[in-house]
A and B are shown apart, each in its own frame.
Chain A
Amino acid sequence: MSQSHTELPWLPQAPDDFRQLCKALDASDPNVGNAVQQLATHRLSSAQARSLGKSIKRLQNADVALAPLSPLKLSILPGGTFDMVIETLPAAAARSGIELSVCAAPAEQVEQSAYNPQSDAIAFSPDVTLIAVDHRWLGLDRPSLDPAVSNAKIDSAYDRLRDIVRAISDSTGAPAIVCSLPTPPLPLFGNFDGRVAGTVRQMIVEFNARLHDFCTETGSILFEVAMIAEAIGTGQWFDYRMYHMYKLPFASEAIPLYCDKLGQLLGAFRGKARKCLVLDLDNTCWGGVIGDDGLASIKIGPGSAEGESFLAIQQLALDLKARGIILAVSSKNEDSNARQPFLEHPDMLLRENDIAVFQANWQDKPSNIEAIAETLNIGLDALVFLDDNAAERAQVRAALPVVAVPELPGDPSLFPALLASAGYFEALSFSQEDQQRVESYKAEAKRAEIRTKSRDLGDYLGSLEMQISFAPFSALGRPRIAQLVNKSNQFNLTTRRYSEKEIEQFENGRADFTLQVRLSDKFSDFGMIGVIIAHETDSKNAWEIDVWLMSCRVLGRRVEEAMLAQMVASAQENGVTTLIGCYIPTAKNAMVSEHYIKLGFDFAEEQADGTQLFRFNVPAFEAGDLPFSFAIADPEGILE
């Protein structure tokens, strides 16, 4: 993934047929507003954003209500060529929950439009007006080394801006958005620029510093354009070529980012900023899988690069909480396992009482996220869901399109900057009330009732394009098999441990059936994720399943059904008519207590030590339709 901010790396990639999807937006569809927002929530090129903008315009012209988007009328008074921004903006605004109508004054007609109540931009009766001027328009683009002159220049820039804001306020009754000024990379003295009052750099510093009071005084909203330029670098922001040719005020590469940030500001203006951060745990808040690796082995805290990266994520979450963002957890885990680091790990920054709702279970994440929203009594559109797992993200996006789900790369050190840059938690004000709001949610890490809805998981699983491959144990697979056998705790029916030497013996005939399973989908290659070892019993026509384990990362994907089908096929070839399943309960494997029953085994007996036995009648097996294609490719030669 590219990490350039200009490419909005926190948004998922747009589908190839994006333009066709925009054209297919149907005015008679009651959910068309949702569809618009869903399309808008991609990493859009300028052309794609323009395409969506056109479709939004078409729907607006047909008088279609685009709920849940909130209508907003924006006038723009641009100091340069703004057409490309104006075309891109409606799509970016839809991403932040706004159905935007834009009216722009002609380039460099800022004052002419502001002072003329009949001008298009004013007669449009905007809800808010953007005054998009930069240091050049404000006359701060040349140094004035006499402090009296440079001060006069800044004063006059402010007088000009104030008059425009007042005129707009008088004629429209609506507030203005004013922009902070990026500093061009054109130092005069160099390092000494900041020490001389009249350098361009110092005048802009002074101008930007006074802008905050100006906003308070005039009731204006501040658009931190300087912050955008800073994030991508002023060397990239200023494109003098395009300025001289076409009066583009900044580089065209920055337009999507500029529009994204302006859209978020408009969203916040309409009360659309998000309120709650929902965190996954394994490999999002710490490195590793708590249920398998255990408290001592997860990576969190100082001492390792990985541990520090996850610490930085926790720091950001806590900083957000301190400014009033509610924190919640949604994790596929046993509740007690998931809570253990919060309670017992000395290096965890997040503690149980930082989390308002704590959902650790094996239900699908959309159901849990809905439960979190209901418990907090906030809308789903107030949630941001942070998860390292691409398939979980895809499922939440598909099931709950209004939940914001940032893309995350594999590298956890990049998570905090991506989450922060995505700008979900825009604020137009900050008060003590905001800080106290979190307390009012009584962060007590409560568990919310899940009302599991019947979701059509079939479509979702099909869309993952999963490829599964099966093979008996092999020398190449042996180290990973041994690792799984000795490490897996949760999806592990018997928790029997065997050394690599013993695995080799199973491979060479000590077991009558061995199976290693690999899985990949369009997002990632999971590698080996399942193991079965079975032995013939004395009766010869039965196999007893000694080991059945799976990686928890592939839960809910029907892998266990595919494994059973594979074992049944092999049983049939070998004249085996009965499979005997064994479940040995431990502190960690409660999630598989129903495993054999769900697969159609019959309960047989429970032994004194709690071990349960189940029987499966092989001839009665009926093959179902499973969402896998069977991988032919076998790069590691495990099918040999």
Chain B
Amino acid sequence: MTEEETLAKITEVVRDELDDDDIVLTRDSRADEVEGWDSLAHVRIVVAVEQSLETRFEMNDITELQTVGELIDLIQRSSG
């Protein structure tokens, strides 16, 4: 998957999980800047990303996530 495709996938998952089709994400988006992206939503988003990509991230990688860009990098690494 290209970076754009990965971002599109993440956006789709986040829109689904937060039930908000107007969310627009960039590499620099931070969870605390997106309405509704609280700690519980973060769990759901991580779980949903894992399920939709059929991958499992390592625990330390998840706990260190700060931005959407870091999530993209993590996905690229996990699927690479």
Contact = CB atoms under 8 A, between A and B. Distances in A.
Contacts of B51: 45, 252-253
B44 interface: yes
B44 A51 contact: no
Contacts of A45: 16, 48, 51
A246 B43 contact: yes
A84 B44 CA distance: 8
Contacts of A47: 16-17, 19, 44, 48
Interface string B30-66: 0000000000100110011001000010110011000
Nearest to A83: B40
Nearest to A255: B47
A245 B62 contact: yes
Contacts of B43: 81, 84, 242, 245-246, 248, 252
A50 interface: yes
Interface in A202-252: 241-242, 244-246, 248, 252
Interface residues of B, number: 14
The SS class assigned to the A binding surface is helix
Given A46-B44, A252-B47, A54 B63 contact: no
Nearest to B59: A241
Contacts, number: 40
Contacts of B48: 45-47
Contacts of A246: 43
Interface string A153-192: 0000000000000000000000000000000000000000
A244 B62 CA distance: 12
Interface string A18-59: 010000000000000000000000000111001100100000
Contacts of A245: 43, 59, 62-63
A46 to B, nearest CB: 7
Contacts of B63: 245
Contacts of B16: 19, 45, 47
* 8 nearest A-B residue pairs (beta carbon): A252-B47, A47-B16, A241-B59, A246-B43, A83-B40, A47-B17, A245-B59, A51-B19
Interface of A: 19, 45-47, 50-51, 54, 81, 83-84, 241-242, 244-246, 248, 252-253
16 contacts: A19-B16, A19-B19, A45-B16, A46-B44, A46-B48, A47-B16, A81-B40, A84-B44, A84-B47, A241-B58, A241-B62, A242-B47, A245-B43, A245-B62, A246-B43, A252-B51
